[in-house]
Structure 1
Amino acid sequence: MTGSQYLKFLNPLALFNTKRTRDIFKVNPTLPPERIEADKIVVKVFDYTPTSLNEFTYDAIENCNQFNNNGNISWINIDGIRKKEVESLCNHFGIHYLIAEDILSVGQRPKMDEINPVLYCLLNMLYFNEQAGTVETEQISILLGRDFVISYQEDASRDVFDSVREKLRITDSKLRLSGADYLCYAMIDMIVDNYYVVMDKIGDRIEMLEERIIRSSNKRSLAEINALRKELIVLKRNVGPVRDIVNGFVRTDSELLEERTRKYFKDIYDHIVQANDLVESHRDMMINLHDLYVSNVNLKLNEVMKVMTIVTCLLAPATVIGGIFGMNFDVIPYAHERNGFFIATTLMIIVPIIMVFIFRKRGWF
């Protein structure tokens, strides 16, 4: 961690990180969406057949109308969401207005709908912010139609589809030889595979935190535990529903999916089940880390109490001897002796030394 990241722990309120909690739990489906429309949109189109490929880049949505039923497979990827453009494209491709509303939604739960003539799925791409140590989400909508796939992304600066684009540029590749349903599979598969990248980074953070807690437990360790538990909540909320999405593709009777493509979605289903299990394992590890932190704190407290108890026991004889010879009686043995002080002091030293040997022999410290 950098110096600036350590400084936040000096503020007691930063230990709770309430703003991050509000960001995670602020979703309320009963409220109207508050999407901020993109300043500009970037439209990238891959129009291909097994033997040819054309790539186009536009800044106006109207240019996409030519790819509807043109005899080729078309992937229209739109970076930046604006209501007018979404409704215009949906109207041209005959897409139901409920799907247009889902595309424009904010914080929507991952879902899959089948409304003719398209199969629609909404899910989140996940990224891990190394500097902030947080899981960031980007909502993506994928529409599968006959001979076309339309995808909406919120952020044009990053996505996980570069490998899909590279495969499309290869002649006779599996993507080029297959239909739009296989392209849809490849896109969802890349999103799910990227979940493992994020979970691996979270796992690395958990392992490093475990080592620090074993070495020394402090308030910063507790703050890091709470922060990681919040990021695991983000993972759980985004990874869990994807299993239902993929299962919907496997079980659908839509003619848009060829029978040979269903087995690929079954493979994604296996991956997302494993991803869910991994998230649960991380959550169990965080619970164990919290228990380890509490145990270490209690162990430190016990050590402190043990030292204080030993010190108190060692001082008890001196207190008793001093109390006896300090009583206001006329007759006290050795009270008026010339060497009485030295005798009392010697007793105060010898008795604790004997007690130390007894304690050490019994293994009390």
Structure 2
Amino acid sequence: MRKANSYLDLVLNPFNLFRTKRILNINPTVIPQRKEPESINLYVYDYDAENIHEERLKNVKDCFTYKHSNRVTWINIDGLRRTDVEVICNHYGIHPLVQEDILSIGQRPKVDEIEGVMFCLLNMLYFNEKESAVEVEQISIVLGEQFVLSFQEDASRDVFNPLRDKIQFRQNKIRQSGTDYLFYTLIDLIVDSYFVVMERLSDKIETLEEDIVRNPNKRTLARINQLRKEMIVLKRNIAPVRDMVNGILRSESNLLEERTGKYFKDIYDHIVQANDLAENYRDMMMNLHDLYLSNVNLKMNEVMKVMAIVTCLLAPATVIGGLFGMNFDVIPYAHHRWGFYIACSLMVLIPLVMLYIFRRRGWF
């Protein structure tokens, strides 16, 4: 039944107007209508250069004991429930405005420093192969004196698994550094994931380009329109991150060590490159649209050329048949014993001569 409804939507709405509405109708001033999860996943990584303690907790209050551990503490919360966010933020002294931003929907990537903590909000991007769509998950990262808090919407996926693996090794730089380096690593993994999404979109664009050259049709135009919408999502989420990282670089916060600045410069280089690629992909989509229109017009011109040639070749036969079909009493060769054969010969011979002339002139 679901497959039938999906096919019906595809037939009635080939250009996916519902996707357009989801992309464009974003208003951060509207009170969020996010459905709160029944449960959350809360992981704590408390470590220093020598030891690490990893624990999965069921209640946010259980992580309060790590506030004064004198080690680096990373608390990752998958699933946003207002009560849990308010409890843990109040305990760690996070401003209510930051709490509202964490619980908001459709916020622009940004960085703020309020009351001794640095707050960073940006989006993780995923590519849905089934829907051929870019999916967005908002993530909030709070950097404090000895802690880093990360808040995610979806508990089923993220891009932090490489960090979880690296943090287990004693000699890894993450274990040898402070909270600012952990803060950098989280942002770096999110930015690097943008290139994975763009690579998948690049494959889709190349496939679409081949289809346009070989056999453009209405479905091809719908796919062009769909990919252009995904480019809007990509550009909207990547472009502001450059300003966000630039804000971190210009920050004079005591939470960021001077030696960590070169790592954020590396992120800045990556996000500039990602932004340039997003611009290139958008230009490619515009070029593909022009290529589609050119191929459709070329195909129509080919059809019109064939029809014009056929019309020209049939014109002599039409004229000869019309002359001998007139209602006159006296028509030359009308009653001649070879009149019919002469007329048929002319109907065949003249088009052949015309074909020869067209061929010599290179008209086809």
TM range (shorter): over 0.9
Query: 1:13 offset after TM fit, Å?
Result: 3.0
Q: Give the whole-Å Cα distance in 1 for the aligned partners of 2:8 and 2:237.
A: 29
Gap runs ≥5 in structure 1 = none
Aligned residue in 1 for 2:22? 23
Question: Which consecutive segments of 4 or more residues in structure 1 shift more than 6 A?
Answer: none
Aligned residue in 1 for 2:356? 357
Q: Give the whole-Å Cα distance in 1 for the aligned partners of 2:362 and 2:12.
A: 43
Q: Give the whole-Å Cα distance in 1 for the aligned partners of 2:322 and 2:41.
A: 89
Which digits, 9 at most, give the CA deviation of each residue in 1:153-209, with x for residues without a partner? 111111111111111110021101111000000000000001001100100111111
Q: Residue 23 of structure 2 aligns to which amino acid in structure 1? A: I
Aligned residue in 1 for 2:173? 174
Aligned residue in 2 for 1:114? 113
Q: Secondary structure at 2:46's aligned position in 1?
A: strand
Q: Give the whole-Å Cα distance in 2 for the aligned partners of 1:239 and 1:216.
A: 33
Q: Residue 216 of structure 1 aligns to which amino acid in structure 2? A: N
Q: Give the whole-Å Cα distance in 1 for the aligned partners of 2:61 and 2:32.
A: 25
Asked if the contact 1:9–1:220 (Cα under 8 Å) also holds between the matched residues in 2, the reply is no
Matches within 5 A, 1:161-310: 161-310=160-309
Q: Residue 85 of structure 2 aligns to which amino acid in structure 1? A: V
Query: 1:295 offset after TM fit, Å?
Result: 0.8
Query: 1:213 offset after TM fit, Å?
Result: 1.1
Q: Secondary structure at 1:68's aligned position in 2?
A: helix
The change in CA–CA distance for 1:10 and 1:263 in structure 2 (over 3 A counts) is closer
Number of corresponding residues? 361
Q: Secondary structure at 1:254's aligned position in 2?
A: coil
**1:45 pairs with 2:44:** yes
Q: Give the whole-Å Cα distance in 2 for the aligned partners of 1:52 and 1:328.
A: 111
Asked if the contact 2:28–2:104 (Cα under 8 Å) also holds between the matched residues in 1, the reply is no
Q: Residue 316 of structure 1 aligns to which amino acid in structure 2? A: A
Q: Give the whole-Å Cα distance in 2 for the aligned partners of 1:132 and 1:222.
A: 17
Q: Residue 88 of structure 2 aligns to which amino acid in structure 1? A: L
Gap runs ≥5 in structure 2 = none
Moved more, 48-57 or 63-72: 63-72
Matches within 5 A, 1:48-197: 48-197=47-196
Q: Secondary structure at 2:68's aligned position in 1?
A: coil
Asked if the contact 1:8–1:14 (Cα under 8 Å) also holds between the matched residues in 2, the reply is no
TM-score, with structure 1 as normaliser:
0.96
Indicate the RMSD between aligned Cα atoms, in angstroms. 1.5
Query: 1:10 offset after TM fit, Å?
Result: 9.4
Query: 1:11 offset after TM fit, Å?
Result: 4.8
Q: Give the whole-Å Cα distance in 2 for the aligned partners of 1:95 and 1:240.
A: 27
Q: Give the whole-Å Cα distance in 1 for the aligned partners of 2:8 and 2:29.
A: 36
TM-score, with structure 2 as normaliser:
0.96
Which digits, 9 at most, give the CA deviation of each residue in 1:291-328, with x for residues without a partner? 11111101100000000000000000011111112222
Query: 1:70 offset after TM fit, Å?
Result: 2.2
Q: Give the whole-Å Cα distance in 1 for the aligned partners of 2:360 and 2:296.
A: 28
What is the percentage of aligned positions where both structures have the same residue? 61
Query: 1:30 offset after TM fit, Å?
Result: 2.9
Q: Give the whole-Å Cα distance in 2 for the aligned partners of 1:148 and 1:98.
A: 19
Q: Give the whole-Å Cα distance in 1 for the aligned partners of 2:156 and 2:94.
A: 27
Q: Give the whole-Å Cα distance in 2 for the aligned partners of 1:9 and 1:323.
A: 53
Q: Secondary structure at 2:201's aligned position in 1?
A: helix
Q: Give the whole-Å Cα distance in 1 for the aligned partners of 2:81 and 2:186.
A: 22
Q: Residue 116 of structure 2 aligns to which amino acid in structure 1? A: P
Query: 1:229 offset after TM fit, Å?
Result: 0.7
Matches within 5 A, 1:306-325: 306-325=305-324
The change in CA–CA distance for 1:15 and 1:45 in structure 2 (over 3 A counts) is same
Q: Secondary structure at 2:127's aligned position in 1?
A: strand
Q: Residue 38 of structure 1 aligns to which amino acid in structure 2? A: P
Query: 1:40 offset after TM fit, Å?
Result: 0.4
Q: Give the whole-Å Cα distance in 2 for the aligned partners of 1:285 and 1:249.
A: 32
